[in-house]
Amino acid sequence: MKNFLVKVSISFILLVCMSSGYVFAFNEEPKIDNNPEENKIVYLTFDDGPSKNTDKVLDILNKYNVKATFFLIGNQIEGEEDVVKRIQDEGHGIGLHTYTHDFKKIYSSNKVFIDEMIECQEEIYRVTNTKPNIVRFPGGSVKRLNKKFKKKLEEKDFKVYDWNVDSQDGIKPKMSPDRIFKKATESNAKEEPIILLMHCDYMHNNTCKALPSIIKFYKDRGYEFKTISDKTPECYFPLKKNK
């Protein structure tokens, strides 16, 4: 059966984290190229690793026998090679989250953005001997990705994955575990596969605390946990109109 675009109607919020300079965009009608016969699937995704908290997340995933996908920042890999290798060895997905995560730099031009993804890819290759081509825009692709830019990414064989459920731990890393759990389980995705956004850098201790309850929630409801690969239907926010 041919894939088709499913439109999820949810609101858009753009928040700025003043302390870190990060911009987090979420919940503006992400589009998923989806197989209608597939449902009850959840993709746990973690941005901003690797870090010591990534190790903690891996411990929890191992305990509950579920898999996840990690979108890594290239310049954080040096010194954390063991964590990256562990992600690979334990069967989780690895994606690209730029080399620097510096918003001013990476969004200065499409070329710089692509160069950052390639640099991140090369750093992951150094450790894993693999070159992942799944990418996540820091802050999400909303208002950044248009048809022309999407084509440029496709020419490099990059595939884009945003999210349709946001734990909001990115904008509020010290949010309570109970609150993170609530946000992570307030699904607007209905019968579609859920792509859940979480984070695993040094600030996200409470995400680690919330994770067991999040896993249990989806397990109890019969969800299958999958990793994102280049075979996974893309998920991205509506494309920006060309000027």
Residues serving a catalytic function are 47, 199
Task: List, in sequence order, the alpha helices (H) in 101-204.
Answer: 103-106, 110-128, 147-155, 177-184
- 169 vs 205: CA distance, rounded Å: 10
Q: What is the DSSP letter of 240?
A: B
Q: Which of 236, 243, 242, 241 is nearest to 25 (CA)?
A: 236
The token pair at 200 is 């695993």
> In the chain, which ranges are E strands?
4-7, 13-17, 22-26, 31-34, 41-49, 69-72, 93-96, 134-135, 159-160, 165-166, 194-199, 224-225, 235-236
Dihedral (C-alpha) 182, 188, 189, 195: value to the nearest 10 degrees?
-40
- Judge contact between 202 and 46, C-beta under 8 A: no
